[in-house]
Structure 1
Amino acid sequence: MLKCHLSKIMGVKRLKIADVARDTGINRGTITRLYNETATRVELEAIDALCTYLDVPIGELFEAGELIK
């Protein structure tokens, strides 16, 4: 299971979901699902765009969590 730190990163940078969606071209719903950690799949292009926009490596955006059995 992956843990997404988008909400934490956006909070530190004082960014709103609407701003990130507008600036990256990523669908607002996709960002909302990542922000709330409810996304089940995300396009690699979206991940790349987020990492570039937020100026973070992928390892800072996502973290491998424990597997649920």
Structure 2
Amino acid sequence: MIKCNLRVLMAERKLNIQDVANKTGLSRTTISALVNENGKGIQFDTLETLCYFLKIDPGELFRLERR
């Protein structure tokens, strides 16, 4: 199962969902879905925006959790 590290990355930077939405232009709904791991996928432009904003590589945003 693929897990999203966005909650951890935001906490490390003392950011909340509204901060990320305001600074990236992404919707609160999109960010919330990733933080709460409710999404079914991610658009490449969303991934690029988050990686650029957080100064990370895509592999740092996601991890593979073995069952």
Find the aligned partners of 1:42 and 1:22 in 2 and give their Cα distance: 19
1:13-52: CA deviations, max 9, x gaps?
0001001011111111000000011111221100100011
How many percent of aligned residue pairs carry the same amino acid? 37
Residue type matched to 2:22 in 1? Answer: R
Letter in 1 for 2:39: A
Q: Which ranges in structure 2 are unaligned for 5 or more consecutive residues? A: none
Structure 1: unaligned runs, 5 residues or longer: none
Does the residue aligned with 1:3 lie in a helix, a strand or coil? Answer: strand
1:10 maps to 2:13: no
Give the TM-score, by structure 2 length. 0.92
Specify the alignment match of 2:52 in structure 1. 52
